[in-house]
Chain A
Amino acid sequence: AQSVTQLGSHVSVSEGALVLLRCNYSSSVPPYLFWYVQYPNQGLQLLLKYTTGATLVKGINGFEAEFKKSETSFHLTKPSAHMSDAAEYFCAVIRSGGSYIPTFGRGTSLIVHP
Chain B
Amino acid sequence: EAGVTQFPSHSVIEKGQTVTLRCDPISGHDNLYWYRRVMGKEIKFLLHFVKESKQDESGMPNNRFLAERTGGTYSTLKVQPAELEDSGVYFCASSPGQGSLQETQYFGPGTRLLVL
Q: Which of B11-19, B38-46, B73-81 lies at the binding interface?
A: B38-46
In this complex, the interface size class of chain A, counting residues with CB under 8 Å from chain B, is: 20 to 34
Q: Which of A17-25, A39-47, A63-71, A74-82 lies at the binding interface?
A: A39-47
CB distance from B1 to the nearest CB of A (A): 14
Contact for A100 among B3, B91, B99, CB less than 8 A: B99
Contact for A101 among B3, B42, B56, CB less than 8 A: B56
Note all chain B residues with C-beta closer than 8 A to A105: 42
The dominant DSSP class at the B interface is: loop
Contact for A94 among B48, B101, B106, B110, CB less than 8 A: B101
Are A43 and B43 in contact, with the CB atoms below 8 A? no
Note all chain A residues with C-beta closer than 8 A to B93: 43-44
Say whether, besides A43-B3, A43-B4, A106-B40, A100 and B107 are in contact (CB < 8 Å): no
Is A28 close to B, CB under 8 A? no
Note all chain A residues with C-beta closer than 8 A to B110: 43
Note all chain A residues with C-beta closer than 8 A to B63: none
Is B100 close to A, CB under 8 A? yes
Note all chain A residues with C-beta closer than 8 A to B44: 104
Are B109 and A104 in contact, with the CB atoms below 8 A? no
CB distance from A9 to the nearest CB of B (A): 7
Q: Can you list 18 A-B contacts (CB < 8 A)?
A: A4-B42, A32-B101, A38-B107, A43-B3, A43-B91, A43-B106, A44-B107, A45-B107, A46-B104, A46-B105, A94-B101, A100-B99, A101-B48, A102-B105, A103-B42, A103-B45, A106-B42, A107-B43
